[in-house]
């Protein structure tokens, strides 16, 4: 039996075969969408660039060379030119990919479990716990996110960790709403009743039965949110509140190139293009994943 046939079997004989088959079908559906594939390739490229940064970079991202400052793109040895301190822009972009990845990963690691937990508990428990948790969520949802993140960073001081915390604090409520809505639709299912009859505790049911089912919609939402997180982080960097110099964070690079925009356009333009490409990649990937994974669309 070929792998293909095993994966697509109508009657899978084990749980693992069913799960892998499901994933394989999603992949087949995903593969048919050219834009989604472009997104996937972009993000894989971002991962590869971040991983291989030392190999791809032609110069040190922070070493200054004042003799070679503000060289235009295409100068020998400097593919994308140099910035106001003579640092190679290509090398800074390549290392900046790592910072971008760290930011989005950390935000997601903080936000998704928190939102999932709040939403699933509220949805499963119902009653006063539900109303209280959702009231808190609504309060956070009604806040202006960027301004609140700014105020947080102003209070706890600029820096990449603080920017991550500030973004995370303002980003979790939509996940809680989403997880709650999903939980309510499955709360009354027979398999939940079965688990309850077997004596599973509420905590066990939430963690083992409810949360995994909310996961796919959370993943879709996370992917679509990535672009927003990247843009917010870059905005904080641009205002000087995110990663601090000499770190090659893309938003901060645009900010430092701002003074030269009229004569040396490339200093600010190149990191902007990098941000656009990566956010676009995440948006395309998220759109594709939503079409494939969102149970409401199937």
Q: Which is nearer to other proteins, 96 or 271 (CB)?
A: 271
Instruction: Compute the distance between CA of residue 214 and CA of residue 209 in angstroms, rounded to an integer.
Output: 9
C-alpha dist (Å) from residue 252 to 82, 104, 235 = 15, 16, 8
- Residue 147 sits in the site that holds other proteins (CB under 8 A): yes
CA proximity to 277, closest of 30, 32, 44, 33: 44
Task: Output the smallest distance, CB 23 to other proteins, in A.
Answer: 26
One residue of 46, 210, 275, 289 binding other proteins per CB under 8 A: 275
- Residue 215 sits in the site that holds other proteins (CB under 8 A): no
Size of interface with other proteins, in residues (CB under 8 A): 45
CA angle 97, 99, 101 (to 5 degrees): 70
Upper half-sphere CA count for residue 55 (Cβ side, 13 Å): 5
Q: Which is nearer to other proteins, 65 or 287 (CB)?
A: 287
- Residue 164 sits in the site that holds other proteins (CB under 8 A): no
CA proximity to 275, closest of 254, 256, 292, 293: 254
Give the range of 10-18, 68-76, 212-220, 236-244 binding other proteins by CB under 8 A.
236-244
CA proximity to 184, closest of 207, 221, 210, 215: 210
Q: Which sign does the torsion angle of CA 197, 203, 208, 209 carry? A: positive
- Residue 73 sits in the site that holds other proteins (CB under 8 A): no
Give the range of 21-29, 101-109, 142-150, 199-207 binding other proteins by CB under 8 A.
142-150
One residue of 9, 41, 129, 154 binding other proteins per CB under 8 A: 154
- Residue 297 sits in the site that holds other proteins (CB under 8 A): no
What φ, ψ does residue 15 adopt, rounded to 5°?
A: -65, -40
Binding site for other proteins (CB under 8 A): 135-136, 138-140, 142-148, 150-157, 227-228, 231, 234-235, 238-241, 251, 254, 258, 261-262, 265, 268-269, 271-272, 275-276, 279-280, 283-284
């Amino acid at each position: 039996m070929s792998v293909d046939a095993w994966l697509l079997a109508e009657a899978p004989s084990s749980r693992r075969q069913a799960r892998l088959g499901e994933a394989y079908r999603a992949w087949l559906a995903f593969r048919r969408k050219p834009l989604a594939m472009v997104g996937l390739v972009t993000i894989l490229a971002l991962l590869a660039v971040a991983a291989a940064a030392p190999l791809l970079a032609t110069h040190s991202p922070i070493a200054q060379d004042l003799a070679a400052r503000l060289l235009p793109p295409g100068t020998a040895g400097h593919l994308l030119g140099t910035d106001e301190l003579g640092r190679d822009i290509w090398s800074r972009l390549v290392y900046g990919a790592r910072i971008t990845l760290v930011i989005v990963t950390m935000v997601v690691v903080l936000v998704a479990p928190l939102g999932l937990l709040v939403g699933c508990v509220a949805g499963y428990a119902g009653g006063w716990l539900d109303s209280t948790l959702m009231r808190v969520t609504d309060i956070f949802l009604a806040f202006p996110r960027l301004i609140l993140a700014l105020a947080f960073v102003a209070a706890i001081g600029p820096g990449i960790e603080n920017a991550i915390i500030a973004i995370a604090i303002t980003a979790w409520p939509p996940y809680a709403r989403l997880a709650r809505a999903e939980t309510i639709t499955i709360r009354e299912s027979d398999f939940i009743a079965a688990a309850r009859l077997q004596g599973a505790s509420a905590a066990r049911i939430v963690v083992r039965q409810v949360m995994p089912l909310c996961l796919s919609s959370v993943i879709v939402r996370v992917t679509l949110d990535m672009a927003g997180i990247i843009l917010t982080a870059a905005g904080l960097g641009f205002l000087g509140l995110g990663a601090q110099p000499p770190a090659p964070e893309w938003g901060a690079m645009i900010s430092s190139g701002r003074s030269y925009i009229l004569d040396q356009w490339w200093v600010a333009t190149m990191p902007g293009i990098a941000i656009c490409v990566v956010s676009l990649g995440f948006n395309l990937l998220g759109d594709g994943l939503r079409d494939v994974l969102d149970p409401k669309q199937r």
